[in-house]
Every structure is written in C-alpha cells, then in structure tokens.
Amino acid sequence: MKEDVEKTYANRVTTDLKQDNVRWVLTVPAIWNDSAKQFMRFAAEQVNIMVDPTSALS
C-alpha cells in the first residue's frame, strides 16, 4: 500500500515526496486482539513506517 501511494504521488505531482513530510496513520478496530495488533505493528515496521510508542499498537 505504501509503495502504491508513493507511485501515485510521483505520477501526479512534479515535486519530490520527502518522507519527513509524510505522516502515515494506520488504524485498527478496537475489537482486535493483541496478536492482530502485533501483526499490524510488524507490517508497519516492514515498510519503514515508524510506530509511535504512545499509539494503540504499542
């Protein structure tokens, strides 16, 4: 998903996308168990999306 967003941006906008200017927000349903939340954290880390230590995924 991250790569798709970056490619779409690159195809539509002439300025470079700077990672420092991007804030990725991933949400999880409140009913997800700890295992599901951990999977989302792992997936975010795999694509270099930093997880905020104060977030629900922490």
Give the residue extent of every domain in the chain. Answer: 23-58
Those residues whose C-beta lies under 8 Å from the C-beta of residue 9, and which sit 6 or more positions away, are 17
pTM above 0.75, yes or no: no
- pLDDT for 2 equals 79
Kindly report, residue by residue over 3-56, the tens digit of the pLDDT.
888 888 888 887 777 777 778 788 889 999 999 999 988 988 888 887 776 665
Binning pLDDT at 50, 70 and 90, where does residue 57 land?
low
Alpha helix ranges (H) inside 1-58: 2-12, 34-46
Give the tokens for residue 35: 């295992």
